């Protein structure tokens, strides 16, 4: 088994607070990838799959492969292209691979918490990659400790893997053990699980986080699991279907089999996947995410179009909605902000003067295009408002006459407990300020959000099939009072 290239103590003092904040956005938890292809270079295909899913997590990356009964694993802190090279991938032979990109939600940003999580069982090793977040981790941890389980990390993902191992220890096979362990898991979990005998793909009963199935062409065949279809496209796999809420798929040399492990599945896909997280070229609900975001912009223009000369976007995630807004309103769309796409996470902190104008590290205004213009600035969300205020100041400094901000989602008023790293509720600007107060705080001439009804109308689906708790506070999975108090304001807990 391969080890990490850097020892854990080199990173043990780093936490996610040490990284510069991204734009004023919530952060996704993870991207997962799995492949069963006996005659293919599964490690290299997984590398490219993770490369396509890099937007879902930039803290760590890992790949585990199964060469018959032998497990090989390599994981480290950093982007996929920083963690792996040809020499490392050549040391990961096998017919099955599991890959993971991580952004920490449960468990801090340490090398020990990088995935896939690996545990030993009487049936052989298990490697698990998890996208989502459990809401009953304290209970699961206590139960495992009572049974003398050896916890190596602080992640909820390890708890799932150890839960499966505990069931195997009781004499169950892979499928029975996994389905039994899942009964104790509450929250969001899309899983790719590798074993010496086959590959599993699993979604929680609400299907909060996405997971898709693809097929590899050619004589050798094979199956692929990925968080998004863009992970299939990059390796030439064809989209077959989604893993359904409450479903487990089992892939081995006999093909693919499906099992309904949950008796009461109820689809509640995270709406923020479509608004912001997923790549625009990924397919969700039989449409590209780009097309949905285009409709969001059109609906936003129907609800609130100011007098203006130009529509500009906060790139990249605000671009589709801005184009839709322009087409519906008739106000010309133009490039007003240029994004430096090579600014990633860094351990080197900017100087104080750079921090004061920190938005320029990622976005820079085109002064000659913007000077004297009344602009509509379209973004997909405002979470804290700090970055938005810096961006508005940069536009003012560039000579913009008026800034009318339009947001292609409703106000974010509640934190997520299911795999999106959002602040505590009191740090969410829309939870403590009115729209007029937010407009004044960030310094715009006017501000309008898309209505919840408009957001749902653009999905062209039943609104009951989505989780929109960050906008409504209506969570699809019951939360303990202790968990509520960890993120919700006191008055919310008392309601």
Q: Is 470 annotated as a binding residue?
A: yes
> Which 8-state DSSP code applies to residue 16?
G
Residue 290, number of CB atoms within 10 A of its CB: 18
Alpha-carbon distances of 421 from 161, 178, 321, 350, 371, rounded to whole Å:
22, 27, 23, 24, 37
CA proximity to 112, closest of 29, 190, 6: 6
As a whole number of angstroms, the distance between CA 133 and CA 328 comes to 38
CA distances 76 to 7, 10, 58, Å, are 9, 11, 11
Q: Annotated binding residue at 379?
A: yes
How far apart are alpha carbons 296 and 378 in whole angstroms? 11
Q: Could you tell me which residues come within 8 angstroms of residue 308 by beta carbon, excluding any fewer than 6 positions away?
A: 331, 374, 375, 376, 402, 404
Residue 30 a catalytic site member: yes
* 317 annotated among ligand-binding-site residues: yes
In contact, 2 and 94? CB cutoff 8 Å: no
- Cβ atoms of 182 and 166 closer than 8 Å: no
SS3 state of residue 448 = strand
Q: Name the nearest CA neighbour of 382 among 289, 266, 456, 470.
A: 470
**Closest Cα to residue 416, out of 272, 280, 296?**
272
Read off the DSSP letter of residue 477. S
Can you tell me which residue has the tokens 């929109």?
468
Residues 6 or more apart in contact with residue 257 via CB below 8 angstroms: 249, 250, 251
CA-to-CA distance for 54 and 43, rounded, in angstroms? Answer: 16
462 in a labelled binding site: no
* DSSP-assigned letter for residue 197: T
Give the whole-angstrom CA distance, residue 489 versus residue 487: 7
Q: How far is CA 228 from CA 43, 242, 279, 455, in A?
A: 18, 9, 8, 21
Q: Among 417, 397, 393, 410, which Cα is nearest to 471's?
A: 410
424 contacts 384 by C-beta, under 8 angstroms: no
Q: Tell me if 230 is assigned to a ligand binding site.
A: no
Q: What span, in angstroms and rounded, lies between the C-alpha atoms of 188 and 392?
A: 36
Q: Report the SS3 class of residue 339.
A: strand
Location of structure tokens 């495992």? 144
Which is the catalytic residue, given 12, 30, 185, 230?
A: 30
Active-site residues, by number, are 30
Enumerate the known binding-site residues for [4Fe-4S] cluster: 270, 416, 467, 470
- Binding-site residues for Mg(2+), in ranges, read 317, 379-380
Residues in the annotated binding site = 270, 317, 379-380, 416, 467, 470
């Amino acid at each position: 088994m391969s080890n990490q290239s850097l020892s854990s103590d080199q990173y043990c003092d780093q936490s996610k607070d040490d990284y510069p904040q991204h734009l004023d956005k919530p952060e996704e938890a993870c991207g997962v990838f799995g492949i069963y292809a006996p005659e293919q270079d599964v490690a290299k295909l997984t590398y490219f799959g993770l490369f396509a899913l890099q937007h879902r997590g930039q803290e760590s990356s890992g790949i585990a492969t199964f060469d018959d009964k032998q497990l090989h694993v390599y994981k480290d802190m950093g982007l996929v292209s920083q963690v792996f090279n040809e020499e490392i991938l050549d040391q990961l032979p096998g017919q099955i691979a599991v890959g993971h990109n991580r952004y920490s939600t449960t468990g801090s940003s340490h090398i020990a918490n990088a995935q896939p999580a690996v545990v030993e069982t009487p049936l052989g090793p298990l490697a698990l990659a998890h996208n989502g977040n459990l809401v009953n981790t304290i209970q699961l941890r206590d139960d495992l400790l009572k049974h003398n389980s050896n916890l190596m990390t602080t992640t909820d993902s390890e708890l799932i893997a150890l839960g499966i191992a505990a069931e195997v220890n009781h004499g169950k096979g892979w499928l029975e053990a996994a389905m039994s362990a899942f009964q104790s898991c509450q929250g969001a979990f899309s899983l790719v699980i590798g074993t010496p005998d086959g590959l599993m793909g699993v979604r929680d009963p609400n299907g909060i986080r996405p997971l898709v199935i693809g097929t590899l062409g050619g004589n050798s065949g094979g199956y692929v699991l990925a968080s998004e279809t863009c992970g299939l496209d990059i390796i030439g796999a064809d989209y077959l279907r989604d893993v359904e809420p409450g479903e487990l798929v089992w892939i081995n040399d006999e093909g693919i089999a499906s099992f309904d492990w949950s008796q009461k599945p109820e689809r509640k896909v995270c709406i923020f996947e479509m608004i912001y997280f997923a790549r625009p070229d990924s397919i969700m609900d039989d449409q590209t995410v780009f097309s949905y975001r285009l409709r969001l912009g059109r609906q936003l223009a129907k609800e609130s179009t100011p007098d203006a000369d130009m529509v500009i976007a906060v790139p990249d995630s605000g671009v589709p909605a801005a184009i839709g807004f322009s087409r519906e309103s008739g106000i010309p769309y133009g490039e007003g902000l240029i994004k430096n796409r090579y600014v990633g996470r860094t351990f080197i902190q900017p100087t104080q003067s750079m921090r004061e104008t920190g938005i320029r590290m990622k976005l820079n205004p085109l002064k000659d295009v913007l000077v004297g213009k009344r602009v509509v600035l379209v973004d997909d969300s405002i979470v804290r408002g700090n970055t938005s205020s810096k961006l508005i100041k940069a536009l003012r400094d560039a000579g913009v006459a008026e800034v009318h901000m339009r947001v292609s989602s409703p106000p974010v008023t509640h934190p997520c407990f299911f795999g999106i790293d959002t602040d505590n509720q009191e740090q969410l600007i829309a939870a403590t300020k009115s729209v007029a107060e937010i407009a004044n705080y960030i310094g715009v001439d006017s501000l309008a959000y898309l209505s919840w009804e408009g957001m749902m109308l653009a999905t062209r689906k039943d609104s009951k099939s989505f989780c929109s708790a960050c906008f409504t506070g209506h969570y699809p999975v019951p939360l303990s009072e202790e968990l509520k108090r960890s993120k919700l304001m006191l008055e919310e807990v008392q309601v």
